[in-house]
Structure 1
Amino acid sequence: MEARSFSDLGLCEPLLKALDQLKFTTPTQIQADCIGPALEGRDIIGIAPTGSGKTAAFALPILHRLWDDPHSLFACVLSPTRELAYQTSAQFEALGASMGVRSVVIVGGEDKIQQAVQLAKKPHIVVATPGRLHDHLKTTKGFSLRAVKHLVLDEADRLLNPDFQASIDDILKLLPHERTTYLFSATMTNNVAKLQRTSLSDPVRVEASSHKYTTVSTLLQYYILCPLVQKEVMLVYLINSMAQNSIIIFARTVQNTKRITLILRSLGFRAIPLHGELTQSQRLGAFNKFKGGLCNILVATDLASRGLDVPSVDVVINFDSPTHSKDYIHRVGRTARAGRAGKSILMVSQYDVEPMLRLEEVLGRKLEQYPTDEQEIALLRERVEEAGRHAANQLREEIAAKGGGKKRRQIADKGDDKDRDDDVVEAGMPSFKRKRRS
């Protein structure tokens, strides 16, 4: 019989109380299908679309079993991004608040000594990126994973790319054989299937959708055709027509992310960038401003395509077409989450038509053309082009300032080094050549 509430799944009273306080009333499909076998101690492979509630699907059974058997360092969750790690930890703490659950985040870009202190306090849950966790396992005295009862590989398809492979292999060797393993992903790849065979014991496979690449039914998906030289004007037209919405714009490069943000800001929009050149504190600051409503437009690289859980995102705009179909799935998964409605718009230039047709074939559906007003677009062109020139000047000035900072650091290296501040100057950025407008 299908579970109609979380109490039907047999969860302990503290968790039911927390779910009620968080206003989680009905389990999603992936939660309903996973929690029962997980409470029985089975290994789980969960395949479900982004935004379907995968985090609670593994957090709830782990917390239920922790309540039955209080144990320090009870579970280890591996995440591909820092942002996802922080959000996963926050969900564990929210769901386990009445149980006194202690969760710690171990990711790069943060102070290792402070992390070692947190690990020494014996948290119940460690949520980590593979590289930094592997580093602590090698160098932090007294820290090990020998007592871990549960391992979670979240966004497993991304964890298994070459960047993480060596760290993942070493971490798996340092885990006890007697453990429960949960593997969750939005897509099933050959690498995920290989890991299933080597790391899971007689797993229960739960697939919340029958299609390999899928999006949720509450997501309205559109495309817009526009010449490459008019993409920025078209973007501003879209933003202007949805000014009160919460919007994520995805760009392919850091350079485009910076330029789009500067253009939108000069036109009076509340936009903030999120990309890999920012420090960890800057990334978290940008995300929190967006989540808190101080800025309603987030301009991001694919760094934000996984893990960002902002329930109120109304629209996702793909300014640059994603390279792979699964990247599109993850991007548009930032909206229409947990049963809510949402909208995505793919901006298609003359160079993107063939990739869009391939995407439609993978999705098994046609995208609808988004209606536009050519007169309104024409009226915006002059202002947007002026904003583009202003953005190009700002980027050139930024590059020049960084070059000067590099020279000052080289001089400082030859003399007394005590007053250096490496955080003042960030890494350089390739120059931007403004497109000629027709």
Structure 2
Amino acid sequence: MAAAAAVPSFGELGVREELVDACTKLGWKAPTPIQVEALPLALQGRDLIGLAQTGSGKTAAFALPILQALFQQCHPFFACVLSPTRELAIQISEQFEALGSQIGVRSVAIVGGVSMVDQAVALGKNPHIVVATPGRLLDHLTNTKGFSLRNVKYLVLDEADKILHNDFEKEVDEILKVVPRERKTFLFSATMTNKVAKLQRACLRNPTKVEVSSKYTTALTLKQEYVFVPAKHKDCYFVFLLNEMAGSTAMVFTRTCDSTRRLALILRSLGFGAIPISGQMSQSKRSGALLKFKAGDRNLLICTDVASRGLDIPSVDVVINYDIPTNSKDYIHRVGRTARAGRSGRAISIVTQYDVDLYKRIEDLIGMTLPEFPAKADEVLLLEERVSEAQRLAAMHIREKDASKKSKKRRNGDDDEADDGGYMAGKRKQSKKR
């Protein structure tokens, strides 16, 4: 059998020594397949379409060429990166600063849920890199005096399929109108949807397509299972799973924001270190929850799909799908939070009688029939009394909190908005006023 071809180093791909040193400090020992394919082309100045599964190292594939170009031509607002979620935008911004620390690269994350004034001040300091959610970026382009993207040399659309799935098409179109036509453009996505193909034609010039995986795949080091449960005992089985996984760090995915809140309260009543994260939370609370989870202060993160894309949290041992995603492709992204960069991981999906069709679509998508997690009903139902009491306490806490919030809003006349793109929220408010 022929020996496998050696993976080239970052230096052999054309990355300059200062950036290679930065990669080493971040623990990146060798380039990933998408980086091997994309870096030489991007360093040559080609427009790129990069298709690779989640957790494949797409951020470095576009960040390193941009930073290398900055070494030769350093000026403010050199690059703009669009991201579908706040958390991913913040993470990308942090990676730019870590990789570019030797030349003092300044990057700013422009996302919803944070003071527009504070962000305007940050933009006024002329950062080299702007990483943003499309709605909030358009807010600043429209309302922040003196801010423009006319000097941008690189435009990146990261997780483009998710950006368009989040209905940011209008905002992206408006942003494309104000960035220079003479620029380099990188489009990275896990999937090539019709919308992504349309966007590719609109914003890239003679691009090179780099495709690491043409089908929907999960990591080879990921152990995947399901557990079939009666819907009325779903919470009991969920707690049973967590007891079986005691000591593990887990991300638990739900379908709704309300479920993250309810489950976190139930688990806290039962003594678990759970913390929720969802689009209904303020950005400071979302960032705080993620920080506690990354630091190991909490070992269970209860989240919606806001946390399913791009986030690199090395210590995740298990992913639990409390709710089966309605879009089968979201399963790939959820379970991609574990078993990253060659590490092992585990994913368990809770399937009720109402989820069978959705679950079968997932198995069809990944081309696998998954084994069942062993769970004996008589052992699981021993937890029923404790779980029922925790459910009751959680429901009571939610009622009291919601009543208190409504009372406070009536007194203060507040109207909170919690979304990832303030632009559309503003449009809805204007429409109401008319």
Give the TM-score range, shorter chain: over 0.9
Aligned to 1:132: 136
Shift of 1:375: 4.0
Aligned to 1:345: 348
Amino acid at match of 1:236: V
Aligned to 1:20: 24
Shift of 1:208: 1.1
Q: 1:65 aligns with which of 64, 69, 75?
A: 69
Q: Which runs of 5+ in 1 are unaligned?
A: 411-421, 428-438
**In the superposition, relative to structure 1, how do residues 345 and 64 fare at CA in structure 2: closer, same or farther (>3 Å)?**
same
**In the superposition, relative to structure 1, how do residues 363 and 280 fare at CA in structure 2: closer, same or farther (>3 Å)?**
same
Asked whether 1:171 is paired with 2:183, we answer no
Aligned to 2:234: 231
Q: 1:121 aligns with which of 112, 125, 131?
A: 125
Aligned to 2:428: none
- 3-state SS, counterpart of residue 368 of structure 1: coil
Q: 1:409 aligns with which of 412, 425, 428?
A: 412
Aligned to 2:288: 285
Quick one: distance in 1 between partners of 2:204 and 2:257?
38
Contact 1:81-1:307 within 8 A present in 2 as well: no
Deviations 1:111-166 (A, max 9, x none): 21221221122111000111111111122222111111100001101112363111
Deviations 1:272-301 (A, max 9, x none): 010122101000000100111000000111
Amino acid at match of 2:250: I
Contact 1:2-1:32 within 8 A present in 2 as well: no
Contact 1:402-1:426 within 8 A present in 2 as well: no
Amino acid at match of 1:69: Q
Runs of 4+ that moved beyond 6 A:
none
Deviations 1:76-124 (A, max 9, x none): 0001111110000011111111121110111111121221221122111
Aligned to 2:364: 361
Quick one: distance in 2 between partners of 1:121 and 1:393?
47
Aligned to 1:392: 395
Q: 1:74 aligns with which of 66, 72, 78?
A: 78
- 3-state SS, counterpart of residue 163 of structure 1: coil
Quick one: distance in 2 between partners of 1:68 and 1:268?
55
- 3-state SS, counterpart of residue 11 of structure 2: helix
Shift of 1:402: 2.3
Quick one: distance in 2 between partners of 1:299 and 1:128?
24
Shift of 1:175: 0.9
* TM-score computed with the length of structure 2 as normaliser: 0.92
Aligned to 2:244: 241
Amino acid at match of 1:331: R
Q: Where do 1:286-365 residues align within 5 Å? A: 286-365=289-368
Q: Which runs of 5+ in 2 are unaligned?
A: 419-434
Deviations 1:383-429 (A, max 9, x none): 1111111111111222222232234335xxxxxxxxxxx59x999xx
**In the superposition, relative to structure 1, how do residues 31 and 238 fare at CA in structure 2: closer, same or farther (>3 Å)?**
same
**In the superposition, relative to structure 1, how do residues 406 and 23 fare at CA in structure 2: closer, same or farther (>3 Å)?**
closer
Asked whether 1:31 is paired with 2:35, we answer yes
Quick one: distance in 2 between partners of 1:426 and 1:208?
39
